[in-house]
Amino acid sequence: MALGSLVLLLSLLGVLGLGDPGPLEDVVIDRYYIPKICLREVQMGDFVRYHYNGTFKDGKKFDSSYDRGATVAGVVGVGRLITGMDRGLQGMCVNERRHLIVPPHLGYGSIGVAGLIPPDATLYFDVVMLDIWNKNDKLQITTLSKPEHCNRTVENSDFVRYHYNGTLLDGTPFDSSYSKDSTYDTYVGTGWLIKGMEQGLLGMCAGEKRSIIIPPFLAYGEKGYGTVIPPQASLVFSVLLVDFHNPKDGVFLEHLEVPASCKRRAVTGDFVRYHYNGTLMDGTLFDSSYSRNHTYNTYIGKGYIIPGMDQGLQGVCIGERRRVVIPPHLAYGENGAGDKIPGSAVLVFDVHVIDFHNPADPVEMETVYRPEGCNVTTRNRDFVRYHYNCSLLDGTKLFSSHDYGSPQEVTLGANKVIEGLNSGLLDMCAGERRVLIIPPHLGHGESGARGVPGSAVLRFEVELISMEEGVPEGYLFIWHGDPPENLYEQMDLNKDGQIPADEFSTFILTQVAEGKGRLMPSSDPDKVIADMFKNQDRNQDGKITAEELKLKSDEDQEKIHEEL
């Protein structure tokens, strides 16, 4: 550097007119532009690529690489360049610009170049350095960013999807996947990439960013590539690995949260309701059930969903959170899906299983408490009062009788409650408590109900408060023994030949009070009696005649004769 400064000083003295120092003994170097970052300087034996303009002292141009439309490439310090240029290029950085003054004895001497450079000519060069490399160079890899979690890195035979910006060593861009709005997709280690890129991608994590500097002999070498990559050009790639997989990959499962109690795991043929976020391997969200506020509901193992998800949901527990990583050959393959899932994309699903069931499932019953000495249990047609809490299997509360301040009342077997709840209330004692798990085909089915999602499995906590023995279907009142003879006469309390509503009600209530019969259990006995009176008052004139009064057993017998 001291020698260079001395030569530069002498040159400046001449320029300032402070005296002619005489013939130059060495090259005069003016480093009029030096880049802020200089990772490497030209040394003896380096291969360089540069542009230049060559002129005489009067400014007349004798040669220019720009005019030829091609850079000059050569090795420094091995006698392939004129001595002045050999010396003038040493120490240069990529993108540095220099003015060189080369005296005749370091140029073409007393002979010159016929028709181009006269004898004893001093030569002036304006040089810009574009590329430097050495045959001993290796791939230069710089990790710019890397994900915290990296379970796997790229190996030979993997299929990779990556974005890149490609530039020459001087920063000139030659290609970019971003401009094509598509990743570059290829196999690694199969010869489909230049050697330097194949080596540079090895060991990368999905989501990792690298700068890869590739010397020409690991890139396009002496031939270059088309008009964008000159011969003997070093290449710089800024790479973002979006995802990768191997054709032999299966589904990868990560169990994020598994409930401590898992009594049952999903198998082929089960119907599963689950929430999910679906992302690409770089975290780009392509779909979410949460955004629709609706679970995804499907059978597993029957081909209704992509094969990878069919496999990934096998063995899940209710309430489990699971990450399912699916290679493209088990997802949407080379074609992708729509405009959000690219071809050959690895998919990542974060799944939360809400519930599942099988169409053959019965009601699952667990007796939490059963009183001792339980001899009388509920049957269909019994009138029961019970408290309940109803929720989804993920704990979401739906309904509770406690919210209404009084027990629920219903006649069992009268199609007043869902089938699964009716079944779960049978054979219970007063005071008994149960937990019922009701599959949707015994609940509210595929359509659901107000406040109940379609195909939802329901959890009921029920407590039987009381029960009343019922009457057979179609009956409002039954006798405990044979009905009285001359029923009409006994019912006609004032013996006026007609029975109005008040007489009818008084008679029935008397029979109940004396234990001779019972009404259909109800929270409103007066309404039951009113319905009985209405059924007997055939002409609806407000009174029952002897011709109108018939026992239901007699009516049923008449219907049988009519059918016969």
Provide the β-strand partners of residue 140. 213
Q: Which of 30, 56, 62, 187 is catalytic?
A: 62
Q: What phi, psi does 236 have (nearest 5°)?
A: -120, 120
**Can you say whether residue 50 is alpha, beta or left, with left for phi > 0 and alpha for psi between -120 and 50 degrees?**
beta
What DSSP character marks residue 247? T
Q: What phi, psi does 87 have (nearest 5°)?
A: -75, -40
What DSSP character marks residue 483? P
Rounded CA separation 348/308 (Å): 10
Active site residue 62: yes
Active site residue 108: yes
Residues 6 or more apart in contact with residue 481 via CB below 8 angstroms: 516
H or E element: which one contains 512? helix 501-513
Q: Which of 50, 52, 276, 299 is catalytic?
A: 52
Q: Give which of 436, 424, 236, 243 is closest to 346, Cα–Cα.
A: 243
Strand positions, DSSP E, 300-343? 321-326
Q: Which of 124, 125, 220, 237 is catalytic?
A: 125
Rounded CA separation 411/382 (Å): 6
- Is residue 61 within 8 A of residue 54, CB to CB? The reply is yes
Q: Which of 63, 120, 175, 350 is catalytic?
A: 63
Active site residue 82: yes
Q: Which of 26, 46, 50, 108 is catalytic?
A: 108
Rounded CA separation 264/254 (Å): 19
Q: Which of 30, 56, 82, 350 is catalytic?
A: 82
Active site residue 63: yes
Rounded CA separation 427/363 (Å): 14
Residues 6 or more apart in contact with residue 343 via CB below 8 angstroms: 185, 328, 332, 333, 334, 335, 336
- Catalytic center residues: 52, 62-63, 82, 108, 125
